[in-house]
Each structure stands twice: as structure tokens, then as C-alpha cells.
Structure 1
Amino acid sequence: MKKDNYILVDGFKHYRYLQESYSENEMLSKSKNYFEWANKRRSVRHFSEKQIPIEVIENIIKTASTAPSGANKQPWTFCVVKSAEIKKEIRLAAEEEERKSYNERMSDEWLEDLKHLGTDANKPFLELAPYLIVVFKRPYEIDADGNKYQNYYVNESVGLACGMLISAIHNAGLVTLTHTPSPMRFLEKILKRPANERAFLLLPVGYNSEESYVPDIKRKTMEEVMKLY
């Protein structure tokens, strides 16, 4: 059944959608400009303590929440940590797991591959950054009566949302670092998350410090990352 601006598909509304399009020259220009802007993004470990309006963080998370997800279940929760006490607790727990990783869990090859990045088990940025965003995935939902409902393509969906989150942080003129201490169950305990949530990614968010340095790395070439058939 067709209405003025939507149709009914099995009884559900489907609104007409029009994507803004551009001329070929505009597409080339916009795509090139977007790449050059995105290529400036770097993972940063040196943060300023300068504060950020919470509205900026809210807009960043709203952007991440526009990501596609399996059956539109949107299986994510973004926990924003501003409390200095909780940030310290997270840092101590993360560093404990990181020390175990560096000393026991990581292979010699893994450790060798990390050397050029200058990383170690110390994570002061988890306290310095004005905000931490802890992303949780939700494999299933629980209603008020305790019934469970399945979510679909959870890792893929949350991964897409995290990519958009990182891009939105860069767009706001801020920096971040994808931090994945493993295991991360301590985040669920510290933040008292429900049984249907699992820690997926931890991102400090803020301004980079004046004395901020990043390793001299290179992106892979087009020949390495793209194959045309």
C-alpha cells in the first residue's frame, strides 16, 4: 500500500529515501578531501586534561549510533566515564592485565611487532583524558520479565559503530586511542553492567597534549589494500 511518502511492507512503514548526489568532479573532490582529512587521524597516547563539553561527547555517540546493525538491533551501549575515581580504578585494573600480557601472554613475535610503537603496560592516559568511552556489545536483550531476545551480527555491528565513533572523535578535533586490555571483564565489574553486556573497546577521548608524539608509521599502499576485479 502506497501513501504520500511511504509504503507498507508486511504492515511496516518504509519511507522514501533520497541520497544527496554530486557530479563526478564533486565526487572526486569530496572523496579526496575526506581521505586527506581522515589520513591525518592518528592514535594518540599523550592527552591534555583540558575539559570538553559533555554535549560534544553526546553528539559523537549519537553519530556512532547511526551505524548499521543486524536487524537494526543496535546491540551496543556506550558508557562515558568522567569520574576521576572510576578512571583511576579502570587504569589500575587495565595496567594489571597489561603487565600480565607483556610478561606472560604475548609471544616474542608479538612483542617484537610492538616495539616500533613504543607501547608498554603503563596507561596514564586512562586517567589524564577528560573522558573514557567504554563500548559494550549486547549479545542478547533481557526484558522486564527476564526473557532473553537474540541480537544478530553483534561483533560486526559494534565494530561498525566503533569505526564511526573514532571518525566522529577526529571530526570534533579530538584524539583517541583504541585500547583493548585482554581480558576486559574488569570493565563490566567496575561499571556494574548487566549480564547481557560484554566489554568490547575502551577509548580515552580528549585533546592531545602540547608535547604529543606519534610513531613514524606508513599506511599500506593501494596495491596492498585494494584488488579490482
Structure 2
Amino acid sequence: MDVSAPFIANYWQYILTVCIGIIIVQFIQSFYKNSSSTNRSSVDDNRKIFVDNDDDEGCVDDNGNQSVPTDDDCEHIPYGMVRYPNDEMLTRSRHFYEEMNKRRSVRFFSDEPVALNVIENVLLTAGTAPSGAHTEPWFFAVVSNPEVKSSIREIVEEEERINYAKRMGQKWLDDLEVIKTTWRKPYIETAPYVIVVFKQVYGLKKDGTRIVHYYNEMSSSICVGFLLAALQNAGLATVTSTPMNSGPRLRQLLGRPVNEKAILLLPVGFPSSDATVPNFHRKPLEELMVTI
């Protein structure tokens, strides 16, 4: 005999209330669990922005530990900076601007050799750039070997051919039309040097412990700015070429470790006698500065 039917008929409203209560409790618990997970994810995202690791491996070991660069023996010393008279400051700043305003992105190079010690001084200058927590997350591979330069060109052009055919939208291609650039990069082989700029997404101690490299992308970009200025000051030309999708193969070709990521490729040398550049004009002061 089934006695459940009369029971449900008599007490259905109470049973329904209990069921609704259970559902509400489960919903609230699920909501707070997801909210907590989202908050933790937000904190992790903020840390990733701060550390600037992109999509590479993070700066933590298998136990979740990370090492911050420290130097207990680093004393602070007095700093004296040369102060120039106002007239001299104005003259020096104007002369430096005029020199830098001559800089252009050059894609046509002479194969005339350049002394290696000039390149070394240029890179020493680049290395004076500031960096997050003084981690100096940059490295430069200076390539002059013709066979290696040929391999670099092959890797880059293989990817660039795909970029121009499939990955880059029509708007991008239209914007590049004025520069008249294509997937072909003959300057990689012609220029006496190719400097491949790597950012170190994290450092490594001798025991293998990873060191956090704060703002490695931003720090490396500032370093490249110093590098471009130093090249111009030395009378050398270059063009900033981004090795899109070529980075991993370039890293392997040049024997660099997994904590380094190729971010720029710079052919360096003298412009060819028939070199041309687009007749671009730069923003006037009123379009790039405001005084408050």
C-alpha cells in the first residue's frame, strides 16, 4: 500500500518550501565560491601585470616560491651630477634634439664593415637604461656571421610571408603601403650586423632559482630607446623590426635559454648610397606636450 500520496497531498506546501530553501542555499554557496575565485584571479592578473610575464612561464617554482633580486652588500653612495649653466643646457638639449631628429628607419644598407668596439660601446650605453628593481632584463645577440644572418633571414621571411598573406588585416597592409615594406627582408643579410634583442622574462640564480623581473617588457623597451639613440649618436642606421612569430626559432638558432624572448631585430650599419626613406614629419611640440 502506497502511503506517500496522502502525505505529499497534505504537506506539499512544506515540502516545496524546504526544496526551495535548499536550492537558495546551494546558489548562495556557489555564488560566493565563484566570487572568491574571481577575486583570486584578479589578484593573480594584477601580479602578472606588475611582473609583466606575458604568456611565458611565471617566476615561481613548483612550490609556489619566488625570488626577488636582492643585494645585501649594495651600499648607497653620494651622487654628484654635473650642472651646466642655463645657456649651455639649452645649447646641449637643442643639439641633441637636432641629432636625434635626423634619425630615420633605414631599410637599405651598405655592406661596409663597422668596428665591433663601436657596437660594444653602443650596447654598453643601452645597458645604462633603468629597469624594474634594477633587474636589467635584456640581452643582445650581435650577429655578423653571414651563414647565421642568412638563417635569420630565412626564418623571418618564412613567417613574414604568412603574416602578409593571412595574419595581417587589410587595414594594416594599407597603412604599410606608404612605407613600401614587404615580407622580404634583404637588409638582414646586407647590414654588417644584426642585433637581436631579447627580454628576459625571469632571471636565474646559479642554483636554478628564478628571479622576478618586474616590468621586463617596459624595461627592455626603454633599453631599446637608449640603444637607438646611441646608434644615431655613433652615426649608424637601423630599423626596428619585430620578428612576429619568429621568436622561438630565433632563440633556438642563437642558442639562448628559455627565459629569454626575442622582441626586436635590428640590422645595423651604414645606409647604402641609394637609400631612401619616407618623407615623414614628426609631431610639433604643441601636439605632444602640455604644461600644467
Same fold (TM over 0.5): yes
Aligned counterparts of 2:74 and 2:138: Cα–Cα separation in 1 = 24
Tell me the secondary structure at the aligned position of residue 97 of structure 2.
helix
Aligned AA (1:207)? F
Structure 1 residue 171, shift from structure 2 partner: 1.0
AA aligned to 1:168 is: A
Give 1:81's aligned residue.
Answer: 143
| In structure 2, C-alpha distance between the alignment counterparts of 1:12 and 1:204, rounded to whole Å | 37
Correspondence 1:46 to 2:94:
no
1:188 aligns with 2:251: yes
Q: Which residue number corresponds to residue 77 of structure 2?
A: 15
What does 1:161-176 correspond to in 2, within 5 Å? 161-176=223-238
Runs of 4+ in 1 over 4 A off after TM superposition: none
In structure 1, what is the equivalent of residue 159 of structure 2? 97
Q: Which amino acid aligns with 1:188?
A: R
* Counterpart contact for 2:239–2:267, Cα < 8 Å: yes
Structure 1 residue aligned with 2:32: none
Shift of 1:119: 0.5
Greater helix proportion: 2
The residue correspondences of 1:32-181 to structure 2 (distance < 5 A) are: 32-181=94-243
Equivalent-residue separation in structure 2 for 1:11 and 1:159 (angstroms) = 29
The one-letter amino acid of 1:125's match is: Y
More strand by share: 1
Within 1, Cα distance between the matches of 2:167 and 2:182?
Answer: 14
CA distance 1:11–1:185, shift in 2 (3 Å): closer
Q: Report the CA distance between 1:31 and its aligned residue.
A: 1.0
Task: State the shift of 1:212 in Å.
Answer: 0.7
What is the aligned length? Answer: 220
Structure 2 residue matching 1:145: 3-state secondary structure:
coil
The 3 A distance-change label for structure 1 pair 188 and 11 is closer
Question: How far did 1:11 drift?
Answer: 6.5
Change (3 A) 1:44 1:145: same
Q: Specify whether residues 11 and 49 from structure 1 end up closer, same or farther in structure 2 by C-alpha distance, changes over 3 A only.
A: closer
- 8 Å CA contact retained: 2:243, 2:263: no
The Cα shift of 1:190 comes to: 1.1
Q: Tell me what 2:285 maps to.
A: 222
Alpha-carbon distance in structure 1 between the residues aligned to 2:195 and 2:234: 15
Code of the aligned partner of 2:266: L
Supply the distance in 1 between the matched residues of 2:152 and 2:240 (Cα, whole angstroms). Answer: 15
CA distance in 2, matches of 1:11, 1:129: 43
Rounded Cα–Cα distance in structure 2 between residues aligned with 1:223 and 1:105: 36
Aligned Cα root-mean-square deviation (Å): 1.2
Q: Distance in 2 between matches of 1:207 and 1:113?
A: 27
Give the unaligned 5+ runs of structure 1: 1-9
Instruction: State the Cα distance separating 1:145 from its structure 2 match.
Output: 2.7
| Structure-1 residue corresponding to 2:18 | none
Equivalent in the alignment of 2:261 = 198
Other-structure match for 2:27:
none
* Residue 24 of structure 1: aligned partner: 86
2:275 to 212, 216, 225: 212
CA deviation after TM superposition for structure 1 residue 185, in Å: 2.1
The whole-number CA distance in structure 1 between the counterparts of 2:288 and 2:154 is: 38
Question: Counterparts of 2:250 and 2:122 in 1: how far apart (Å)?
Answer: 21
Where 2:76 maps in the other structure, the secondary structure is strand
Residues 32-83 of structure 1 show CA distances to partners (whole Å, capped at 9, x for unaligned) of 1111110001010110111111111111111100111111111111111011
Secondary structure of 1:117's counterpart equals coil
8 Å Cα contact 2:243-2:262 kept in structure 1: no
In the alignment, the residues of structure 2 paired with residue 12 and residue 91 of structure 1 have an alpha-carbon distance, to the nearest angstrom, of 43
* Distance change (3 Å), C-alpha of 1:104 and 1:148: same
